[in-house]
Amino acid sequence: MKEFKYTARSVTGKQSKGSVNAINRIEATNELRKKGLTLLTIEEAGKKAGFFTSTPAKKASTEDLVIFTRQLSTMISAGIPLLECLEVLQEQSDKPGLKLTLGEVIEKVRSGSDFSESITAYPRVFSKIYINMIKAGEASGQLDIILIRLAEFLESAQALKREIKSAMTYPVISLTLILLIVVGLMVFIIPQFEKIFTGLGITLPLPTRILMTMSMIMKSYYWAWLPGIIGLIVGFMAIIKTNKGEYYYNWLSLRLPVFGDLFMKVAISRFARTFSTLIKSGVPILGALEIVAATSGNRLIENAINNAKENVRKGETLSEPLSRSKLFPPMVTRMIGIGEKSGALESLLEKIAEFYDQQVKSAVEGLTSMIEPLMIGMMGVIVGGIVIAIMMPIFEIQSAVSKKK
């Protein structure tokens, strides 16, 4: 038996504190509820109290959510009541954010709320897609099947995210190392050569003078350029969080050499897979388009989808406004058009997603193989340029000595 401390409110509204002994928190909660108390907080003695109604839940990782979703689907398909499933999963969870959230969701479900309604208060754990698919599963009576589709969708989305992360990690690390090497040379190595050249009293070549000046600025005025760089980064991050800033940042990202094509393929894959999953789960097409637009990750694509949604509302087909946006490739819009006419839209969207997933994988592999020699070449040019600028006065001194001989 464990001791649980609680804060509760009686039927008259009077708030009280106390403790109760029980096997686990669920049993303690049931015991207190039998006494007619409305729980505000309850936690094992010695641990920080958790608020059932107001404590903000931590964000659960995608991996944790996938495991929870698959386990919930298995238990529901085995005929176990939803509330009991949630209680078991909450009890066995070792993730603080998910455990706390499930505790609050259980309270809401126990009080009579639907599962989909209960999870709407936790957007950092359950996304809009998740909530709407659960709602569709409840309406159709196929919650276990919808949960499997949700888990598969989350796994596909996570795999796509890993592809992008792997594509961006190498160039970021390489550029960071190049910058650190250059700063180290300019701040610590170049000044030593400057002392030598000054002692010799020779006239330095122009490249060497430029290098020495840059080294002096970086070493002597770090208090100016270092905060300036940090300010530019902070300012850039603040600008892209504004509506216009985000729009132009997304516009530019789709037009970057090499990376722009990759970002577009990722956006189309995400659009097709999310849309397909929602339609297959029974979410109405207008509601599905609204969710897809909100989760697109790109303001230009979001605007195109929202515009298409309004045209569909007026009776137009989906493929026509998407084609007019000039963002979606002709293959995508034509396949969507065929899917609308044949009644197999979700299966064609799934094929589009699979095709672009493969395209993203191939693009990432090609990008990685291309970036590696590019980064090595860039490092060679920068470091080689610094070395040549340093060696030029030495060569001139050697040449002058040779002439005297």
Q: What is the pLDDT of residues 87-107, one digit of tens each?
A: 899 888 888 888 888 888 888
Mean pLDDT in residue range 194-213: 82
Q: How confident is the model at residue 394 (pLDDT cuts 50, 70, 90)?
A: confident
Choosing among 3.40.309.10, 1.20.81.30, 2.30.40.10, 3.40.720.10, the CATH entry for 159-405 is 1.20.81.30
Residue 23: per-residue pLDDT:
73
At 62 the three-state DSSP class reads helix
The answer to whether residue 53 scores a pLDDT higher than 60 is: no
Per the model's pLDDT, the better-predicted residue between 50 and 25 turns out to be 25
Alpha carbons 291 and 263: distance in angstroms, whole number:
20
Residue 235: per-residue pLDDT:
92
Mean pLDDT in residue range 111-133: 85
Choosing among 3.30.460.80, 1.20.81.30, 3.40.50.300, 3.40.710.10, the CATH entry for 62-154 is 1.20.81.30
Residue 290: per-residue pLDDT:
86
State percent of the chain over pLDDT 70.
90
Residue 46: per-residue pLDDT:
60
Both tokens assigned to 273: 């897979």
Q: Which residues contact 98 (CB under 8 A, 6 or more apart)?
A: 57, 60, 64, 65, 68, 125
At 43 the three-state DSSP class reads strand
- Residue holding tokens 């084609």? 323
Mean pLDDT in residue range 193-217: 83
Q: Are 102 and 90 in contact (CB under 8 A)?
A: yes
Residue 54: per-residue pLDDT:
40
Domain map of the chain by residue range?
A: 2-44, 62-154, 159-405
DSSP state string for 100-164: HHHHHHHHHHHTT--HHHHGGG-TTTS-HHHHHHHHHHHHHT-HHHHHHHHHHHHHHHHHHHHHH
State percent of the chain over pLDDT 90.
9
Q: How confident is the model at residue 304 (pLDDT cuts 50, 70, 90)?
A: very high
Calculate the average pLDDT of the chain.
Answer: 83
Mean pLDDT in residue range 35-55: 57
For 201, other C-beta atoms within 10 Å of its C-beta total 6
Residue 40: per-residue pLDDT:
59
Mean pLDDT in residue range 176-181: 87
Residue 48: per-residue pLDDT:
44
- Residue holding tokens 């003695």? 45
Q: Name the H helices within 221-329.
A: 222-239, 243-253, 259-280, 285-294, 299-313, 319-324
The answer to whether residue 381 scores a pLDDT higher than 80 is: yes
Q: How confident is the model at residue 338 (pLDDT cuts 50, 70, 90)?
A: very high
Residue 219: per-residue pLDDT:
85
Residue 31: per-residue pLDDT:
78
Q: How confident is the model at residue 50 (pLDDT cuts 50, 70, 90)?
A: very low
Residue 55: per-residue pLDDT:
42
pTM summary value? 0.66
Per the model's pLDDT, the better-predicted residue between 275 and 372 turns out to be 275
- Out of 162-176, 264-278, 345-359, pick the least confident: 162-176
